A = this chain, B = another copy of it.
């Protein structure tokens, strides 16, 4: 699984506040997945820590201390962020480096502006 459906970058051809129509149920669900992933203080913090990291990335071992949670819990949160398409995982040696997926963030921000 782990579909990673990045909110849909549609927005057909709109101009300025042009007779909006409500989003479909499925689109609402996809948006909610991303927002729900960011709906936890710890995950917001994790995302922020990763973005603030050296190359905009960080491994789990760098994250457990700052958030003050067990390694297992952090790993769990990373999984949720990854499934929402907010971060990407890259195995380097025995470390797992996570980096922020900017397009997803941008799509989410854009989606917010459509309301």
Contacts and interface: CB of A to CB of B under 8 A. Distances in A.
Of the four ranges (under 10, 10 to 19, 20 to 34, 35 or more), the interface on chain A belongs to: 35 or more
Contacts of A48: 20, 22-23, 28, 115
Chain A interface, >50% SS class: helix
B66 A44 contact: no
Interface in A34-55: 35-45, 47-49, 51-52
A106 interface: yes
A74 interface: no
Nearest to A68: B25
Contacts of A78: none
Interface of A: 20-23, 25, 28-29, 31-32, 35-45, 47-49, 51-52, 66, 100, 102, 105-106, 108-110, 112-115
Given A20-B48, A28-B48, 17 more contacts: A22-B66, A23-B45, A23-B48, A28-B44, A28-B45, A29-B44, A32-B39, A32-B40, A32-B44, A39-B39, A102-B115, A105-B112, A105-B113, A106-B113, A108-B109, A108-B112, A109-B113
